[in-house]
Amino acid sequence: MSLLPFDDRDGFIWFDGALVPWRDARIHVLTHGLHYASSVFEGERVYNGNVFKLTEHSERLAASARILGFEIPWSVAEIDAATRRTVEASGLADAYVRPVAWRGSEVMGVSAQDSRIHLAIAVWPWPSYFSPEAKMAGIRLCWAPWRRPSPDSAPTASKAAGLYMIGTLSKHDAEAKGYQDALMLDHRGYLAEATGANLFLVIDGALHTPIADCFLDGITRRTVIDLAKARGLTVVERHIPPEDLAKAQEVFLTGTAAEVTPVGEIGEHRFTPGPVCAALIADYDALVRGAGVKAAA
């Protein structure tokens, strides 16, 4: 991944209705979203010039904003059109897309009902979330020091910026220990997710995944569930205790950035990426790069 700073690049960002030069897409230091985490975002991928499941992402962005108590002043169709325009302006056939909406700087305080709502969309090159070597070997995860909160203590159904703070802390902790990522438990002690990707276990040929009742039900997660069912695999969504990792033959993560990434290690547990991982990696790649991608976008 490029080390080029994100505030000093060529290109354009869609900002509140217009494409502006990348370096001019700026906000004030007293923006409410910076101080009080009143911000929501999406992560999307462009394959062969098409944004995979664009409308689903735009719909979730709007829904996330409503959960945080604000309405994005552009419709889902307008957000879709703005995204396509930004992708076209980037000139990139394969890329990452980051729409973000936030409360502005009109009000500084916990209550900010009168703040203006802003929307920006940026597009940049982003290869696999993990290095090819690490991905093919199965990435290494340690246990996260933080847990996913309960739905009555945080807006867990929203892709809200503030919910990623403990993900950042957990990933920093993992990298400091030599791991690629960390596995988070939920508030009850069940398996939840990695710091930014959903979790799947292969147990005796069936696919098991935690119920997404206190963390984000990923679009890639749902896509992989559909692909697994199309292959005739049994998919079980349940609360999974940590000791069930000992029963798993394969483990993998899913997410827009991670795509389908095999896991080789979680704490004391070891796994070998096998036929189920390989099949779903191939199916996902064929789907996002195939003829159906444009229709889905």
Instruction: Write out the two tokens for 276.
Output: 């189920």
How far, in Å, CA of 248 to CA of 293, rounded? 32
How far, in Å, CA of 114 to CA of 104, rounded? 9
- 159 counts as catalytic: yes
| Nearest C-alpha neighbor of 199 from the set 127, 262, 133 | 262
With left for phi above 0 and alpha for psi between -120 and 50, is residue 109 left, alpha or beta? left
237, burial (CB in 10 Å: exposed 0-12, middle 13-18, buried 19+)? middle
Q: What single-letter amino acid sits at 101?
A: A
Distance set, CA 12 to CA 21, 141, 150, 202 (Å): 5, 36, 39, 43
Give the number of other CB atoms < 10 A from CB of residue 111. Answer: 9
Q: Which of 53, 135, 159, 171 is catalytic?
A: 159
Catalytic positions are: 159
